[in-house]
Chain A
């Protein structure tokens, strides 16, 4: 089974520039998550999709971050304009249907490491 794919793996931009990240989840997984992991911290949820609908975007800075999941498969996360504090690893995860009495098992991609100068 192929894992979660993300690209690019690394990105360096100047502040106020825009950047986009791409995620391809595991085939058949209906739920897709974007997390932000700042150095030395645990991942923090930015947005959660169920198929192509948004379930939770309460922690997404909507003035600069946007995300979409067209056709309920691939997803893109965009930052415009970027700030210095956006330097982090952006992780994509996906999960399928959980069995009764079990939590969703989220499978993570390798992440995109963003450096904002």
Chain B
């Protein structure tokens, strides 16, 4: 079993839709939960991170963590064609600094 599971998609939505991206994990030691966006032929870039269970909002993006269920989500409101990319969840456990990534979900927002 992988430490982090993520549906690879692809996920295709019309412009303006609300997008929900999800990951599950098995390692209880994970403390920080991040979402990265990766455009084609580019390196990942950090969108946002959360530390504890609950919600965190940044513009059109909301990250949600449920540690009891080992489940994290990223919601994108009013999705735009420029949001078309692969979204990677990533996690860090106590004592380490390197990231454990999910496999990524490819999102396509249709104009």
* Chain A positions near chain B (C-beta within 8 angstroms): 4, 31, 33, 40-45, 48, 55-56, 91, 93, 95, 101-106, 108-111, 113
Contacts and interface: CB of A to CB of B under 8 A. Distances in A.
B75 interface: no
Interface string B54-96: 0000000000000000000000000000000000101010001
Contacts of B99: 43, 45, 106
Interface of B: 4, 6, 8, 32, 34, 41-46, 49, 51, 88, 90, 92, 96-104
A22 B99 CA distance: 21
B69 to A, nearest CB: 21
Contacts of A43: 44, 88, 99, 101
B42 A95 contact: no
B96 A42 contact: no
Given A56-B96, A104-B97, A41 B103 contact: yes
Given A41-B103, A42-B104, A91 B98 contact: no
A33 B44 CA distance: 13
Nearest to A33: B98
Given A42-B101, A42-B102, A101 B46 contact: no
Contacts of A106: 46, 99
Contacts of A113: 41
23 contacts: A4-B43, A40-B8, A40-B103, A40-B104, A41-B103, A42-B88, A42-B102, A42-B103, A43-B99, A44-B101, A55-B97, A93-B43, A95-B97, A101-B51, A103-B49, A103-B92, A104-B92, A104-B97, A105-B46, A108-B45, A110-B41, A111-B43, A113-B41
Contacts of A55: 97
A56 B43 contact: no
Contacts of A104: 92, 97
A48 B92 contact: no
